[in-house]
Structure 1
């Protein structure tokens, strides 16, 4: 087993370090494993597995949710959210900094993407909060940390990838992400309150008093967003639609919203569609490579051997999770979240199951840890997005995001100690 592991690890480092696409790297690893360590014809396995990975009905939801996010990215949704939320935040300690947290949480509920959430909210919030005199470090930190909610709060693209890679229910994973998402929003908001109490002189004074009636009038701009969330997530939770059907509903509603706002012309429609095609193709290609690698690892017996070795160490489930957390964070420093998921599930899943860890819970845990890696250099995607928006040094942005990295670590600890945070809603859903 040691020879196989070292060979594959060196090959992976060489391939990724040479700039080879992740999909090709995964296929290359699978080919190497089968051709050098088994007598199975590698070409036959590659052809059958890539084909079988490309026509999954569950996978149909992926391009639809990506398309919905691309459409909303080009709408005025962020502007409407800021205008609707701001009047309610002026009296809370931390004031308008909370619009970053809550706004990212709401946009995550319709975009499914961390980078799209960060870019959309950042374009609106950064200049507006800078104009009002808010602390630049905290503005960048709240955006970098809160935008990662796009990976967790449904409809999450990475949860769809995990579901397909591990043969889990997309609907149950979506529902499982709701309470952990609320938990992270609460932790972020709590930190902002404590920070503002600690440094009251660094929070600008509240705007002029807004009457309750005026607050409700401004909040009307949130109605289209809330309708979109209810239409997509509510239809899944109520059992009215499958995730794929809900994704189609989301695309139609987002097109209607963009048209109603007057931003949907032929050029915008074409850009949104082509953006969705590019992203969907990339992810589908990675999943095809991961499917072949999974089959190859099964033929070599590496996952079962590795699981047996881990079992021989007599690690408790908690110690196993500590080791996996460090491993995923380190891996996420160099790979994007989707690549981390598809690269590791085939090898780690047997040992996770052997440890008695619920796979729905593990999916939520994995996504939160991957969220943490989104704000760690050198390959923290949210850091790159904010650098592009502000021109600031990426290490400076990473430093601003550091408190939120630790808050997400606290979130991992809480769902580990209280797993019902992630498993209660899916259990209630399946028990209906």
Structure 2
């Protein structure tokens, strides 16, 4: 059997196995082990422990649990509700102001947590009932939060960016900075659509004529500014060469825990244990996925699948943009069935030789790939954010949530097109800052 046919078989079986709901780490590990034994015999099993543990010795991985705990600390507090309320007061008079406020809150909360489901849950629990109570249609209210939550994997610090950086051996600091302007571009596109649709539907908001005083607008800022300062400080430490990712993440996690205790009085042992427990659970899951994905990549390379795919694409006599379009389509389809972590760790070893051979910047491609992963979070049948929103608002059907999210998917596709036409949006800031 040729390596390309083996690759298709691997993709089909892996997708089928993960679609059954099997944990990602076990699914990847089982497929890798099965193919190694079938094609290379039982002697290949001797390489499994060494390969898995070698993949976990990367010092950069120390930053992963720290960023997870940083997000868990913020998600456990009332920081999300304060962000939402502060933005609602500042943007009250804009058409579609409450939707715009929620998208802004999603963007800021994403920067604090780096988690899309946490952003959807935290902002959605407050924002969706408030929007519906004040006259917004259910599809717009739920779709905006589902799409806004996806910003958690693009706006730094992003766990998804860390995984891509490890898999592609690119600078995590540069990836973080590269995600800033595209993240703001997506926020602007989401807000523009929300304003347009609210204006077109003639949405009349309850209490729209209320005027907030400057004192009311500023009273929540003392609680929020320290958290935003931590995010700015972590990113600055990374791109300024002041600290390594693990050092910056450790300081950021410690400061977020301290501020949650001081500002929001989350000091009870049970509360602190819940933060550490959730952080440990998610970190352990991610590290296990990384270890088995390294084994999966080793199996693909050992069976010559990676090399054959790269050679086949390189030999195609087509424009490099056609290749990129095909890659985007493949990522979009994969995102309909698999979570972002699995896709990144499965496909990056295959795609990186193709991307570099076609002359594309790996940092720029990391942003493109991440936006594709955002699309996967709100596309059925495995759109995680859709199910999170449905769990928050069980009286709103999944088709209604999907209908509201569809225009925001269009905004993401438009963002990819804009980044292809103007790649400097992603590459200018890292080059300016880090050289």
Q: TM-score range by the shorter chain?
A: over 0.9
Residue 309 of structure 1 corresponds to: 312
Contact 2:63–2:246, Cα closer than 8 Å, also in 1: yes
Decide which moves more: 343-352 or 369-378: 343-352
Matches within 5 A, 1:308-347: 308-347=311-350
Distance 2:71 2:307 in 1: 39
Decide which moves more: 191-200 or 278-287: 191-200
1:244 aligns with 2:246: yes
Distance 2:99 2:355 in 1: 39
Where 1:154 maps in the other structure, the secondary structure is coil
Residues 300, 227 of structure 1: CA spacing in aligned structure 2 closer, same or farther, 3 A cutoff? same
Residues 11, 188 of structure 1: CA spacing in aligned structure 2 closer, same or farther, 3 A cutoff? closer
Residue 409 of structure 2 corresponds to: 405
Residues 26, 104 of structure 1: CA spacing in aligned structure 2 closer, same or farther, 3 A cutoff? same
Distance 2:316 2:175 in 1: 30
Decide which moves more: 163-172 or 348-357: 348-357
1:424 pairs with 417, 428, 432, which one? 428
Shift of 1:12: 2.0
Distance 2:12 2:180 in 1: 39
Residues 64, 216 of structure 1: CA spacing in aligned structure 2 closer, same or farther, 3 A cutoff? same
Residue 9 of structure 1 corresponds to: 11
Distance 2:267 2:420 in 1: 44
Decide which moves more: 5-14 or 54-63: 5-14
Residues 36, 352 of structure 1: CA spacing in aligned structure 2 closer, same or farther, 3 A cutoff? farther
1:146 pairs with 135, 142, 148, which one? 148
Matches within 5 A, 1:24-173: 24-38=26-40, 41-173=43-175
Shift of 1:218: 4.3
Contact 2:96–2:203, Cα closer than 8 Å, also in 1: no
Distance 1:269 1:383 in 2: 29
Normalised by the length of structure 2, the TM-score is 0.94
1:274 aligns with 2:277: yes
Aligned-CA RMSD value:
1.9
1:359 pairs with 359, 362, 369, which one? 362
Residues 127, 248 of structure 1: CA spacing in aligned structure 2 closer, same or farther, 3 A cutoff? same
1:350 aligns with 2:353: yes
1:385 aligns with 2:388: yes
Q: Deviations over 1:258-297 (max 9, x none)?
A: 1121133111111111111111111111111111111222
Where 2:57 maps in the other structure, the secondary structure is coil
Matches within 5 A, 1:185-200: 185-200=187-202
In the alignment, structure 1 segments of 5+ residues that lack a partner are: none
Shift of 1:252: 1.5
Contact 2:386–2:402, Cα closer than 8 Å, also in 1: yes
Residue 264 of structure 1 corresponds to: 267
The count of corresponding residues between Structure 1 and Structure 2 is 431
2:301 pairs with 298, 306, 310, which one? 298
Where 2:97 maps in the other structure, the secondary structure is coil
Residues 90, 32 of structure 1: CA spacing in aligned structure 2 closer, same or farther, 3 A cutoff? same
Contact 2:4–2:309, Cα closer than 8 Å, also in 1: no
Q: Deviations over 1:83-119 (max 9, x none)?
A: 2212210122211211111111111111011111111
Where 2:22 maps in the other structure, the secondary structure is coil
Decide which moves more: 383-392 or 20-29: 20-29
Shift of 1:8: 1.8
Distance 1:94 1:234 in 2: 34
Contact 2:181–2:426, Cα closer than 8 Å, also in 1: yes
In the alignment, structure 2 segments of 5+ residues that lack a partner are: none
Distance 1:228 1:123 in 2: 25
